[in-house]
Amino acid sequence: MNGGTLAYEEALRIVLDASARMPKQDCATSACLGRVLAEPVVSHVELPPFDNSAMDGFALSGDSSAVPAGSELTIEGEQAAGDGVSHAREGAWEIMTGARMPDGLDRVIPVEQTERTGNAQCIKLLADVESGQNVRRAGSDVGRGETILAAGTALAPQHLMLLAALGIPKVSVATRPRVAVLCTGRELVDDPATPLAAGQIRNSNGPYLVARLPLSGAEVVYAETVGDDATAFESALRRALEAGAQIVVTTGAVSMGRYDFVPQALENIGATTLFHKVAIRPGKPLLFAQLPNKALLFGLPGNPIAVAVGLRFFIEPALRVMLGLPPEAPRRIPLVASYSKKPRLRFHLKTRLHIDAEGRLGAEILGGQESYRIRPLADANAWAIVPADIDALPKGALVDVYGPSHFEFPLPCESVA
């Protein structure tokens, strides 16, 4: 085990080195929302699949010059969306938006730029019509053989729209890492309907982790709350591994108190503790171990914001490696007010992004940074990082800012005058 308190960067390196990329698997397009592509997706068709009209109007033919305003043309046929191949001879074809262009026609005039003549059997053009005007060309959106999505893409609804339009039934994705959540503490109450006895609190860490881990690309396969008892913890850990967990996340019992039994329990089962304590706030007592079956264990302190920081800045980077995602880069954003802290620890600060009246983005470090205070986390839309060797920053200083989720950096959700 690495002795002493590690710098964040060294602790993270140990976590990333221990994280192995997951194998790939096929996934139906209808079920792949949120999955991460293991291979690039290549289109074997064109989109649109045929030349079609961009609006309701009349399809015409002509040479390289415009068909001039004032021309009168006989209406030869009609083409609606869904109609198959039609062969035009001359004249004009009434056509609907999205309808396939009849063979031999190469331009469309909007219906409002025409008028009916000759008992409505002819039209008169009220504007010139150039070749290609108002026509969506086959392959103008996606060409055959074109790579449309890169490996490492986290699939969002817009990606599913594209895959559906191209008729792609399945894609190759990274297998989701299987994660178990074990919360420790005899004071914890899971059932929100159960009245609290003296000294009890509600378990907020478990619901948070179970909700957030799937949004981070993992599959939660087991969750349990156990009391402050090493034997019960070891039994729960066995059940988690029997459920197939490749990562176990625990909360509580990793500090230096009388009931902080997790380090000793891990030693009892033959786990290798790779580090215990990191120079961060909140979450300094964080523990990282490898279990005998090579599963990874993150022992997070019990305070809820320490849990949030441990997930965001240790577990999610490990998940990125396992899912084949590239390393995450922060954005540099100016502070809207000065900030000071104690040196020697890297601070992870609940932050809200604002856009001012001039359109400038700024980071506001929220009040209530204590690790027990959940309300400011609910108000935050980002994390600001102040390195260990910095004790004061003036207004306007640039800080590293991360969004609440590693998959997507959010836009700020409010403006200030």
Q: What is the mean pLDDT of residues 357-362?
A: 94
Q: What's the confidence (pLDDT) of residue 1?
A: 61
The Cα–Cα gap between 115 and 123 comes to 5
Residue 260's pLDDT band (cuts 50, 70, 90):
confident
Residue 255's pLDDT band (cuts 50, 70, 90):
confident
Angle, in degrees to the nearest 10, between helices 316-323 and 8-18: 30
Examine the pLDDT at 273 and tell me if it is beyond 60. Answer: yes
Q: What is the mean pLDDT of residues 259-267?
A: 90
Q: What's the confidence (pLDDT) of residue 344?
A: 93
The Cα–Cα gap between 150 and 153 comes to 6
Residue 118's pLDDT band (cuts 50, 70, 90):
confident
Residue bearing tokens 């108002």: 134
Q: Which two tokens stand for residue 130?
A: 């150039």
The answer to whether 180 and 243 have CB atoms below 8 angstroms apart is yes
**Residue pLDDT, tens place only, 45-94:** 999 999 999 999 999 998 888 999 999 999 999 999 999 999 998 789 99
Bond into 376 cis (ω within 30): no
The answer to whether 334 and 284 have CB atoms below 8 angstroms apart is no
**Residue pLDDT, tens place only, 378-408:** 999 999 999 999 999 999 999 999 998 766 5
Residue 312's pLDDT band (cuts 50, 70, 90):
very high
The average confidence (pLDDT) of the chain is 94
Residue 257's pLDDT band (cuts 50, 70, 90):
confident
The Cα–Cα gap between 142 and 136 comes to 12
Residue 27's pLDDT band (cuts 50, 70, 90):
very high
pLDDT top residue among 249 and 413: 249
What is the Cα 364 distance to its own chain's centre? Answer: 23
Q: What's the confidence (pLDDT) of residue 62?
A: 86
Residue 411's pLDDT band (cuts 50, 70, 90):
very low
The Cα–Cα gap between 60 and 129 comes to 9
Q: What's the confidence (pLDDT) of residue 408?
A: 55
pLDDT top residue among 269 and 120: 269
Q: What's the confidence (pLDDT) of residue 276?
A: 96
The answer to whether 101 and 86 have CB atoms below 8 angstroms apart is no
In degrees rounded to 5, what are phi and psi of residue 414?
-160, 160
Q: What percent of the chain has pLDDT over 90?
A: 90
**Residue pLDDT, tens place only, 170-191:** 999 999 999 999 999 999 999 9
Residue 410's pLDDT band (cuts 50, 70, 90):
very low
Q: What's the confidence (pLDDT) of residue 407?
A: 61
Q: What percent of the chain has pLDDT over 70?
A: 96
